Structure formats: structure tokens, C-alpha cells
Structure 1
Amino acid sequence: MTSTASRRLQVRLACTHRTRAAAVIAVAILCPVLPSRAAEPPSTRPHPASHPAASRPSSLDARENDALRELLDGIRTRHKLPALGGAIVDLDGVRSIAAVGIRRHGSAEAVTPHDLFHIGSCTKAMTSTVIARLIEEGTLDWTTTPADVFPELSDAMDPAFRKATLELLLTHRAGAPADLNADGLWARLWERRGSPIEQRLDLLRSVLARPPVSEPGRRYLYSNAGYAIAGAIAERKTGLSWEDLMRRKLFEPLGMKSAGFGAPGAVGGGDVPWGHVLREGKLTPIEPGPMADNPPAIAPAGTVHCTLSDWGRFVALHLRGSKEDTPLLKRDAFHRLHTPSRGADYAMGWIVTQREWGGTVQTHAGSNTMWYGVVWMAPQKDFAVLAVTNLGDPAATHACDEAAWQLIQHVLTSTEKRQDD
């Protein structure tokens, strides 16, 4: 999507004020949105199908929910967001959850903790997990290339791209471009010609016919196209669309009943949050519909929506998988998903970094410029935090960064209190 995918970040969590980032999905005019990378304090201010937090009876959960609601409301007010949601995740799923604000600017309808939010490029970790499952099942291999799966296109591919393996595609080291404007591809994808499978094949054919941005394996370049190509490879090998693979291999086994694709809601619907943009400084709600998200061709890079509880189910799977085999994937597979390439900090849908408060942690952010979400996962501490909002402006980045840090602080403080008791 955007060739200016920059390395900026504002979740300031430990001792440094460094800013770094990775690109996120950009909508319509290829506007760059920048994900959180380095959690630091603001300088101012059991089973994969475990039950959601709301169904886990616990007075502690209720107290935490109230505390989270108060915490989030202050942040939302300061940053002038329509809505802000947050959750704390442990090994069993969402432990506590809250959401504050309104579903749509100009409406009085309050957001709920169980509403749907678009999580943008945080979808990438899900796509990588599905591909890891296909590899464990023997359908694919980390060394599988587009030329292996699409032999009829091999002659039309640039020779260098024949070495672009799934592992390189999912770690943004395959030489796939960040900019999809060449040959009118981006405009064509917005026309949504054919099925999503056909659209992704069009993208694959167009991208791989041109020379890679760099020799596969040589350097990192964040590319949504790389994830779309990985999705197309999985589709060809299984005969199923990426959307069906996500449902069968991830959503259904985890009980993620709310998970879907594209902007939440339907045209004319008003029972879910809407995404927002700032126009001339004013909050503007974007009605759900085909133009409220990126084209389906790049769905494997970032079009999932779900509730915080269901996102928490997915993140809890990764927390558990960092320690032991799970019914969905073995521990070795999770280790591979969480390990960046040598000399890099990007694994497969996760940015990996060190933090004093959590040791080795994984994070990612996502936005389609109308929504924003961020996850921080600390496997050594057995917890993760999520923050979401229905706005894609930089204010959303700052607010979610601040919310993530406050949630982390809440977990660390409550853990210390329990240990003292």
C-alpha cells in the first residue's frame, strides 16, 4: 500500500524515547498510518477455545473492568476519540475488558466491550498462524515459493522472485513492493473484479512480473503485497479461499464467532461502531460498506474485524504456544512465528523487542486509516494487552499507545500487590 511506510512510534514503554515503526494498511489514497513499536511511559501524561472474559465469573474481573473503564475514559477524552477499548489477556483469554465512548460521531449510542473493531495489520499474525498450520499438516513448507505453486506463471515471473519463499514473504524479506500503483494495479484492485481468489491472483501475477525491490532474503521492506501473495499460495494449494481458511483453521477452532472481514457492519446498519476520519479537523464517520476498507485482494495483510474477547482468544493461543504444544500448533511452530530473522526485529506478524518490564515481547499495530489497534504480548510474564479505537488519525495512535502502557502498568502493579499479599 504505501511506499512511505515509515518507522515511527509512540507507545513509549520503558527507558528510551526511540521511535521506530512498520507500515500498516492504508486506505484509498495510500495514506500512511504508523504502528506502535516501543512501549514506554508517556513523557507527559487453558485451551484454545477458552471462554471469553465476560463468561468467567470473578469479582476481580468486575473490579478490573471498572478500573479499566475509568482509565480508558480519561484517555479517550484527552485525545478526542469517538470510542476506545482495551483488554488484558492471560493464558486463558481476556481477563478484563472495557470500552468507552460512542459508536458513531453524532450519535448517542454507546460503545460496548463486546462491539466489533477492525484490527488492520494485526491480521498478519493470524495469516502467519494459518500458514503454520498448513505447514504442520504437510500442505505447505516454509520453503514453498510462488513458482512451486503456480508453475504456469513461472516463465512470466521475474527470475529473482522464484526464490521468494513463504518464510521470506511473511517476514517482509522477499523483495515484494510496498507500493502497488505500478501498472494500475491498485486502482484495478479497487474495482474488485472477480472473486477474492481471482483478485489475489491478479495481484500475484502483476507483482511477480516486475523485478523485486531487493534480492529475496537480502533486506527487510514492509509489504502488504507479500502477505497477499502468501495468502494466494495457500489458496492454490488447498483449493479454499483465504477467508475460508481463516474460518476453518483459526476462527472456528478458537471459538472466534465474531471474527469477519472488512469494515464491521453492513450498509445502512447502525448497531456497530463505525470507523472515522478527520476532515478539516472534524470527526467524520464512515458508513460500513465496500469502500470502508481496503480491497479484498490484500485481506491477508489486514482486513479482520472482531471483538476484543475474540482477539484475546487468538493472543492467548500465542501466549500458551510460547510455553507448550497446543491443539492448533506445536510449540516449535510458535517459536518460529515469534523469532525474527537475523539482524531484524520482524518475525511473522510480530515485531520483537526487549523491554525491562517484560523481557522479550512481541507487538504489532494496524490501521486502515479509519480504525486503529495495537497488541503488546509478554510471554515471559503470561499476559498481553490490547487497545482499539474507531479512528485512524495520529491521535488514535497516541491514545492507543497511552492506553497500552496504562494497561501494562495496571497488570504489573496488580501482580506486585498479589505477591505482597
Structure 2
Amino acid sequence: MKHIVCTLLFLSIFYKSDAQKLAVSTDSIRRADSIPELGYAVITADAIKDLNVLGFHKSTLKNDDTKALPDDYFHLGSNTKAITAFIAGYLVERKKINWGTKFFTLFPDWQAAANPAYVNITLADLLSHRARIKPFTSGAEFQSAPKSTGTKSEQRKIFAKYLLTNEPLPLNKEPYNYSNAGYSIAALMLEEASGKTWEDLVEEVLGKGLKLRYKFGWPNRTDDNQPSGHWMEENVLTPLPSTTSYNLNLIEPAGDISMPLADYAKLIQMNLAGLKGQNNFLKAGTYNYMHYGLEKYAMGWLNVNTPEKHISEHAGSAGTFYCYTLINKDKNIAYIVTANSATENALKGVFKVLEVMIKSSE
């Protein structure tokens, strides 16, 4: 018994020391690459092995009141796509919709005015960027979109009609053509199939179903004590105030959820456990399809899927935060790195941290 206790004590000290080393290395990178606040997590199917947040909410104010806290929210950017796909999987399992459901099966009255190129697009096509919808990855593209009022759902409906009457992307040899706007149309399908708005579905799944915390939009939009996003203004790293007129309402299902790192880590852990064959909130087969159902990009996840390697990943940024997620099914491990800056230096720092995490964990 004494031997077992000593062994456990040694392991505890060993892992604590390992975590401390990772924290020191990560904070050094954070400072060197001018990242105000950075978070990271190392996850297996059975445990959150390490999770930490370091730094400050704002680059311009560094004191105890702005120090990084475990409950800080980070903007997930395009990692939101995997959440929308997760909700789709939830509805598919409940037989509200199928991956192969065609858009115009749900909206037959729209077909006459739509571009014929879109006649057969499905939910899976939209979630995997195979519907040839224009990307809407830059601010300039939104200048041509119709201005609308009403609820977010109503605005996205007008946006979807606009998209479907326009020309598609030209045919090409790429396996997929990335599109934020495609996710707005996919969300419309989920709304029609369920009778609920996308926002209500997020609450049903993340909030009530999984007991996870989340926000729509920037972390500091409704709470100045949350991290500010940062960008460069006149070559100076600058925090964006909560009043900044910058919203992603039209493409919210593609990239506008914020979560505390601990809650997002739990969601990623569920995905990893599902890929390892465990049924949880969704069935293992649903997770496998979402991550590996199609080559290169499946339902909200980029992938490498060969007999020797099974990896899924995604990065997300709307220009002021950055989040990168990597799931290695074969090694039963996942990594998350988040930052409240998306400058060139910040991205370098994020991937330096990822490299250190991988070296210390595998």
C-alpha cells in the first residue's frame, strides 16, 4: 500500500512539473509574439490532460483586473462550423432531416427564382463546401449583399435568397470550395426542418443538452471584463472596444460563437471519444461521418483520412481572435490553442505553442 501511495505521489509531481514546464514555455511564446491572452488545452477521450489561460484581456491594460481567468471566453471563428454540423448531426439522428436532404425539398417555392446550378444541392453539400456557393470570406463581398432588418434568422433568409439567385462559383477540380455563406443556407435548412431558429438550436444542444456555456458574437460585446479582440491600427496592436460596429449576423452559423476554453474543450473531447467508438450525445457513427465522411473536408472539419492516419482540424478567425483545433484519432489526443489576436505574429505564436504541446504530449 505504501509503495502504491508513493508511486501515485511521484506521478502527480511528474505531471505537475510537466504542466508547469508547458505553461512557462507557452507564456514565453505569448510574450515574444505579442499575444495579449492565450489559452491552450490537451485532451484525450477520457480526460482534459492540461488546460490553461495566460496573459491579459487587453494589450493596453495589464493589471489584476484584466488578468486572464479560467472562465474567459474566446471567439471560435470558423470552429463554429463544426458546432453547426454537430447540430445537424443531432437533427439527423432525430430524423428531422438527412445529410442528403435537398434544399429545394424544404423550400420548393424558391426553386423557380433560383439559379439552376443549385437545384440539387444538399445539406451535406453545404456543410462540406461542395455547393459552389460564393465564399463571403472578405468584407468586400458583403457590400453587395442586400441590407435587411428583422431578426438574425430573417436576415439570413433574405441573404440565402440572394445567394441562390446569383451565379455559382465556376466548376473546378478542387475537392471543395470554402464558403461561409454556404453555412447560412445550411442553417436555414436546419431551421425549416426543426421549426426553431439556429440560435434556439444552439441553446437546445450546447446550453440545455450539454450544459456548456457560450455566447454569440465577441466575448466583450456584453461584458467589458471579458477578453477584447485585437488588430493592428497604424502598426500598433489595438484592442477593439465592445461598441465596435463589426458583426457577423449574416454568417453567424459559420463563425460567430464564443466559449470558455474549458467548455469548448469538453465539446472537443466528446468528438474525440466519438471517433474512438464511444456513443455519447451523438452516436459514434455520426461523429465518424462528420469528421471523415467526405475527402479533405467533411461536415465542419478538414481531415486527413488514410489507413495510416486519421486527423481532423480547423482554424477560425474573424480577424481579432484566433482558434485552432487538432484531433488525432490514432493517438487519442486533441489540442486547442486560442488567442485574442490574429496578427501574423500571433499566428506564428499559436503554432509554436501547438508544436510545444505535441512534443510534450506524444
* TM value normalised by structure 2: 0.89
For 1:121 and 1:99, locate their aligned partners in 2 and report how far apart those are by CA, in whole Å. 21
- In structure 2, the residue matched to 1:310 is 263
**8 Å contact 2:78–2:316 — kept in the other structure?**
yes
- In structure 2, the residue matched to 1:346 is 297
Q: How does 1:102-117 map to 2 (within 5 A)?
A: 102-108=56-62, 109-117=66-74
Q: Which of 354, 357, 361 is the aligned partner of 1:407? A: 357
Letter in 2 for 1:332: G
Question: How far has the Cα of 1:323 moved from its partner?
Answer: 2.2
Question: How far has the Cα of 1:65 moved from its partner?
Answer: 4.1
Letter in 2 for 1:143: G
For 1:180 and 1:374, locate their aligned partners in 2 and report how far apart those are by CA, in whole Å. 17
For 2:14 and 2:286, locate their aligned partners in 1 and report how far apart those are by CA, in whole Å. 34
For 2:79 and 2:28, locate their aligned partners in 1 and report how far apart those are by CA, in whole Å. 25
- In structure 2, the residue matched to 1:123 is 80
Q: How does 1:386-397 map to 2 (within 5 A)?
A: 386-397=336-347
**8 Å contact 1:235–1:241 — kept in the other structure?**
yes
**8 Å contact 1:100–1:111 — kept in the other structure?**
yes
- In structure 1, the residue matched to 2:229 is 275
Q: How does 1:171-320 map to 2 (within 5 A)?
A: 171-179=128-136, 186-187=142-143, 193-214=149-170, 219-257=175-213, 259-266=214-221, 269-289=223-243, 291-292=245-246, 294-320=247-273
For 1:215 and 1:135, locate their aligned partners in 2 and report how far apart those are by CA, in whole Å. 29
Letter in 1 for 2:329: P
Question: How far has the Cα of 1:227 moved from its partner?
Answer: 0.8
- In structure 2, the residue matched to 1:37 is none
- In structure 2, the residue matched to 1:163 is 120
- In structure 2, the residue matched to 1:44 is none
For 1:379 and 1:185, locate their aligned partners in 2 and report how far apart those are by CA, in whole Å. 37
**8 Å contact 2:180–2:251 — kept in the other structure?**
yes
Per-residue Cα deviation, 1:254-298 (whole angstroms, up to 9, x for no partner) = 2212x111001235x431110000112101100124634x42121
- In structure 2, the residue matched to 1:52 is none
Per-residue Cα deviation, 1:375-394 (whole angstroms, up to 9, x for no partner) = 11111111111101101212
Secondary structure of the equivalent of 1:212?
coil
- In structure 1, the residue matched to 2:290 is 337
Letter in 2 for 1:91: A
Give percent identity, aligned residues only.
Answer: 28
- In structure 2, the residue matched to 1:22 is none
CA 1:369 to 1:181, structure 2 compared with 1: closer, same or farther past 3 Å? Answer: closer
**8 Å contact 1:363–1:376 — kept in the other structure?**
yes
CA 1:93 to 1:251, structure 2 compared with 1: closer, same or farther past 3 Å? Answer: farther
Question: How far has the Cα of 1:206 moved from its partner?
Answer: 0.3
Secondary structure of the equivalent of 1:381?
coil
For 1:236 and 1:69, locate their aligned partners in 2 and report how far apart those are by CA, in whole Å. 46
Q: How does 1:57-68 map to 2 (within 5 A)?
A: 62-68=16-22
CA 1:117 to 1:181, structure 2 compared with 1: closer, same or farther past 3 Å? Answer: closer
**8 Å contact 1:66–1:98 — kept in the other structure?**
no
Letter in 1 for 2:215: G
- In structure 2, the residue matched to 1:100 is 54
Question: How far has the Cα of 1:116 moved from its partner?
Answer: 0.7
Report how many aligned residue pairs link the two structures. 348
CA 1:217 to 1:254, structure 2 compared with 1: closer, same or farther past 3 Å? Answer: farther
Question: How far has the Cα of 1:220 moved from its partner?
Answer: 1.4
Per-residue Cα deviation, 1:21-44 (whole angstroms, up to 9, x for no partner) = xxxxxxxxxxxxxxxxxxxxxxxx
Question: How far has the Cα of 1:216 moved from its partner?
Answer: 11
For 2:16 and 2:259, locate their aligned partners in 1 and report how far apart those are by CA, in whole Å. 22
CA 1:191 to 1:265, structure 2 compared with 1: closer, same or farther past 3 Å? Answer: farther
For 1:107 and 1:245, locate their aligned partners in 2 and report how far apart those are by CA, in whole Å. 37
Question: How far has the Cα of 1:211 moved from its partner?
Answer: 2.6
Which ranges in structure 2 are unaligned for 5 or more consecutive residues? 1-11
**8 Å contact 2:292–2:305 — kept in the other structure?**
no
For 1:306 and 1:192, locate their aligned partners in 2 and report how far apart those are by CA, in whole Å. 28
CA 1:60 to 1:238, structure 2 compared with 1: closer, same or farther past 3 Å? Answer: farther
Secondary structure of the equivalent of 2:258?
strand
Q: How does 1:361-372 map to 2 (within 5 A)?
A: 361-372=311-322
Question: How far has the Cα of 1:82 moved from its partner?
Answer: 1.1
For 1:162 and 1:346, locate their aligned partners in 2 and report how far apart those are by CA, in whole Å. 22
Matched, 1:83 2:40: no
For 1:216 and 1:402, locate their aligned partners in 2 and report how far apart those are by CA, in whole Å. 34
Matched, 1:378 2:328: yes
For 2:58 and 2:33, locate their aligned partners in 1 and report how far apart those are by CA, in whole Å. 16
Q: CA RMSD in A?
A: 2.6
Secondary structure of the equivalent of 2:266?
helix
Matched, 1:323 2:276: yes
- In structure 1, the residue matched to 2:28 is 74
Question: How far has the Cα of 1:93 moved from its partner?
Answer: 4.9
State the structure with more CA Rg: 2
Secondary structure of the equivalent of 2:330?
helix
* TM value normalised by structure 1: 0.77
- In structure 2, the residue matched to 1:359 is 309
CA 1:390 to 1:158, structure 2 compared with 1: closer, same or farther past 3 Å? Answer: same
For 1:102 and 1:192, locate their aligned partners in 2 and report how far apart those are by CA, in whole Å. 37
For 1:323 and 1:369, locate their aligned partners in 2 and report how far apart those are by CA, in whole Å. 34
CA 1:60 to 1:287, structure 2 compared with 1: closer, same or farther past 3 Å? Answer: farther
